Structure 1
């Protein structure tokens, strides 16, 4: 299992890019999972449904299963937010995990940058950024591998090139004090 982050400022197009990348990577015969960080409270179940009622009643975990999928929700109930390393350890084995968010963590990342956002690059302040996907070619430092934001094939190539094995990723996160 290999891991790569898709990082950037809000509004840069990370989710849109990931949604385009998943079918492309799958067409390359790779199994792909995603891990996304949310900065606020969120629900994956619908108010009034059984899973919601179970969670609201105080269940620590709620697993919902059907013939098509299953989902596990864990309520922290005041416990500390789990680290990226802890969450990665819960992932089922696949070829590639795309991590959206966690831009401050020490895993290999592709930075998504959109000129209209008028935000600075995360690179070079973040040395774990391995490549850049941007709609502004002039934004990329010459030595940093990069692709145009609309060239999803080239971005997929960068992902395959710079994704790191799970255990190496966890070691880097631990060395940075984020395991």
Structure 2
């Protein structure tokens, strides 16, 4: 399979998806992976803070804006978009983590956190692993400890290497 490999980090609202991604990113990059992250927002969001130049341009009716500084850039456009389009923007990545997407067919790690949820909600056939602090299992998928970021990162490293043919 060609790169990049895509994996959704899924779970119900407030299950810890952002915290997990933030915790495993340094481990994945230290292991040599180039990782991009795509976050789905179920609501509308403000891509540029009000009062910034680009925010003012968008508020004035611009179809899009771009800002750059020589080592990074951001483009904001008003147009329908899909996760496939966004993933295509990161050809340099070895791994793309997509936050959310619990009902997609993407391979996924699903978080089930005590006090927040009590069972996975993803389609079992898309589940790579269950990440939880509860005594749960999912048929055909290993269970990883929610608070063991190294275990989650190592699982993803093995998965990416297998998908890229470097097992």
TM-score (norm. length: structure 2): 0.86
Q: Does 2:64 align with 1:66?
A: no
Residue of structure 1 equivalent to 2:130: 132
Is 1:148 the counterpart of 2:145? The answer is yes
My pick for the range that moved more, 84-93 or 19-28, is: 84-93
Q: Distance in 2 between matches of 1:165 and 1:106?
A: 16
Larger helix fraction of residues: 1
Counterparts of residues 24-173 of structure 1 (less than 5 Å): 24-76=27-79, 81-123=80-122, 125-136=123-134, 138-141=135-138, 143-163=140-160
Instruction: Work out whether residues 108 and 162 of structure 1, in 8 Å CA contact, stay in contact via their aligned partners in 2.
Output: no
Residue among 5, 9, 13 paired with 1:2: 5
What secondary structure is seen at the aligned counterpart in 1 of 2:8?
strand
Shift of 1:57: 1.9
Helix, strand or coil for the counterpart of 2:147? Answer: coil
Give per-residue Cα distances to partners, 1:111-169, cap 9 Å, x unaligned: 1110211343124x341111111011x21236421210111111112222334869xxx
2:15 and 2:117 in contact (8 A); partners too: no
Unaligned ranges ≥5, structure 1:
167-179
Q: After TM superposition, which residue ranges in structure 1, 4 or more long, deviate above 3 angstroms?
A: 161-166
Using the alignment, how far apart are the partners of 2:78 and 2:139 within structure 1? 45
Number of equivalences = 160
